[in-house]
Amino acid sequence: MMVFSILGLILWLVIVPFAIGFLPVKFIERKRITCGNIFAAGYLVMLAVFQLIAVPFVLAGRNMYELTICTVVVLTLLAISGIWCSRKNKIGMSLRENYRETGKCLSAWRSDKKELETMIYWVIALGLIAFQMYHAIAYASFDGDDAYYVVQSVSAAESGDLYRTLPYTGFATALDTRHALALFPLWIAFLAQTSGLHATIMAHTLLPLVLIPLTYLYFYLIGRKLLEKESDHASETPHKLLDNLPVFMILISLLQIFGNVSLYTNATFFLTRTWQGKSVLANLVMISVSWLLLCVAKDGKVDKSVMILLFCTNMTAALATTMGVFLTAVLIAGVGFFLSIYHRSFQLLWRLGLCCIPCVVYALLYVML
C-alpha cells in the first residue's frame, strides 16, 4: 500500500509534470532548455489544465471521482504527448549538450578556489532549502483557514463532494460561489485519491516537500535572468557568469525564514500555509509571472512558449485563489505597459494582453456566479 502511494506521488508530482513540460519548451531556443525550465513549465501547464477540467465539474455538480478519472486521462495524454514531442524534437540531445558544460564546471571547482567558494555557497543554499523542507514535516502550523480549505480536500477525497457541503459543519449547502472557481483544494484531493493517502497528510506533510523546492526553482530561474551578464570572453563557461546566483538563493531563503514580520507577508504564507491556494499565489505564481516577464523584457519579444506559460500561469492563479487573476493581470499590465514603451512595440502589449484572457474569463465568471 505504501509502495503504491509513493509510486503514485512520484508519478503525479514528478514524472507527469516533467513530461508535460516538454510541450511548451519545444518553442524555446535549444541552448536554453534545461531540466529546470522543463519542470517549471510542466507544473504551470499541469495546474492550468486541472483548473480547466475542474471548474465545469464543480459548476455542474458532479463528483470528485469523475473529476479524478477525467484528470488522470487528460494529464496522461498530455504527458505521453510531451514525451513523444521530446523525442521528435530531440530535446534529450539538447539537454545532454547543455549539461556537458555543467560537467566541466564540476571539474573546475576542484582546482579553482573561487569556484570552490561558489560550490560552498551552493551547498549552503541547498542546505537552507532542506532546512525549510525538514521544518515543513517536523513542525505543524496552526491556521484557522485549514478548517475550510483542508476540509474541502478531505470532503472531496472521502465522499466525492465538490463544494456542496459546508466545510465547518458538514451540512449540505448550495454551491459556494465565492470559492467555487479557486479549486486548489481539489488538486490536493486528486493527489490524495490517486496516491491513496489522506488529504490532510497530503496537504500538511507531503505537498510542502514539493511546493517549497518548486518555488525555489522559480526563484532560481528569475535569479539567472537577473544576474546573467554579457561576457566578451568566448571561452568563459556559463556558470562563471552566475557566480552570484548561490548568494542570491541564500538571501532569498533567509528572507523567507525571517520574513514572518506579520501574518500577512508572502514569506509567512510560504512557510506556515504552504498548502493553501493563497500561499501558492503569493509565492509560486507571482514569482513565475515575474520570471516570464523577465524572459520577455530583454528583447521585447513574446514568443510562443512564454505566451503559453503566461496563459497557464494566469489559470494557475485562478486555481490558487479567486483574487489571483486580478493580481497577475495587474502585474502583467503594468510591466507590459512600460516594456511596450521601452521597446516601442505595440505587438508586445497585445500579446501580453492575450495571455490575460483567463483573468478576464474567470473575473466574469465570478461576477456571474
Partner 1 sequence: MFAFVTGVIQNYKGSGLLLLLYLGALALLFLKEKNWPKRILLVSVPVCILIVFMIPLFQIAFNHFLDPETYYRMLWILPMSVTIAYAGIRLLEGHRRMVLIIMTVMIVLSGKYVYTGDYMAEAENAYHIPQTVVDVCDVILPEDGSQVCAVFPDDLIHYVRQYSSRIIMPYGREMLVHRWDYDDPFYRLMQQENMETGELSVTAKGYNCNYIILSTEKTFQQPMEDYGYEIVATIDGYNIYKDTTVTWPN
Binders of partner 1 among residues 305 to 364 (CB under 8 A) are: 323, 326-327, 330-331, 334-335, 338-339, 342
Residues 32-71 interacting with partner 1 (rule: CB under 8 A): none
Q: Work out whether 174 is an interface residue with partner 1 (CB under 8 A).
A: no
Query: Which of 121, 163, 311, 362 lies at the binding interface for partner 1 (CB under 8 A)?
Result: 121
Interatomic CA distance for residues 95 and 101, integer angstroms: 10
Report residue 84 as a C-alpha cell: 513523444
Least CB distance from residue 251 to partner 1, whole Å?
Answer: 4
Q: Work out whether 103 is an interface residue with partner 1 (CB under 8 A).
A: no
292 touches 306 (CB < 8 A): yes
Residues 282-301 interacting with partner 1 (rule: CB under 8 A): 282, 286-287, 290, 293-294, 297-298
**Please, what sign has the CA dihedral across residues 365, 187, 20, 237?**
positive
Least CB distance from residue 195 to partner 1, whole Å?
Answer: 13
Residues 149-168 interacting with partner 1 (rule: CB under 8 A): 150-151, 154-155, 158-159, 161, 165-168
Instruction: Compute φ and ψ for 172, nearest 5 degrees.
Output: -70, 150
Least CB distance from residue 77 to partner 1, whole Å?
Answer: 31
Is the Cβ of residue 37 or residue 179 nearer to partner 1 in the bound state? 179
Is the Cβ of residue 51 or residue 321 nearer to partner 1 in the bound state? 321
Residues 234-273 interacting with partner 1 (rule: CB under 8 A): 243-244, 247-248, 250-252, 254-268, 271-272
Least CB distance from residue 116 to partner 1, whole Å?
Answer: 13
For helices 64-88 and 184-195, angle between their N-to-C axes, nearest 10 degrees:
80
Is the Cβ of residue 111 or residue 262 nearer to partner 1 in the bound state? 262
Least CB distance from residue 280 to partner 1, whole Å?
Answer: 11
| CA-wise closest residue to 199 among 232, 156, 168, 162 | 156
Q: Work out whether 193 is an interface residue with partner 1 (CB under 8 A).
A: no
Q: 120-142 burial by CB neighbour count: b if 16+ within 10 A, else e? A: ebbeebbebbeebbeebeeeeee
Q: Where are the alpha helices (DSSP H) in 11-112?
A: 16-25, 35-59, 64-88, 91-111
Q: Work out whether 200 is an interface residue with partner 1 (CB under 8 A).
A: yes
Interatomic CA distance for residues 18 and 219, integer angstroms: 18
Is the Cβ of residue 35 or residue 330 nearer to partner 1 in the bound state? 330
237 touches 108 (CB < 8 A): yes
Least CB distance from residue 106 to partner 1, whole Å?
Answer: 20
Q: Which residues pair with 165 in a beta bridge?
A: 172
Q: Work out whether 109 is an interface residue with partner 1 (CB under 8 A).
A: no
Size of the site for partner 1 (CB under 8 A): 82
Interatomic CA distance for residues 78 and 21, integer angstroms: 9
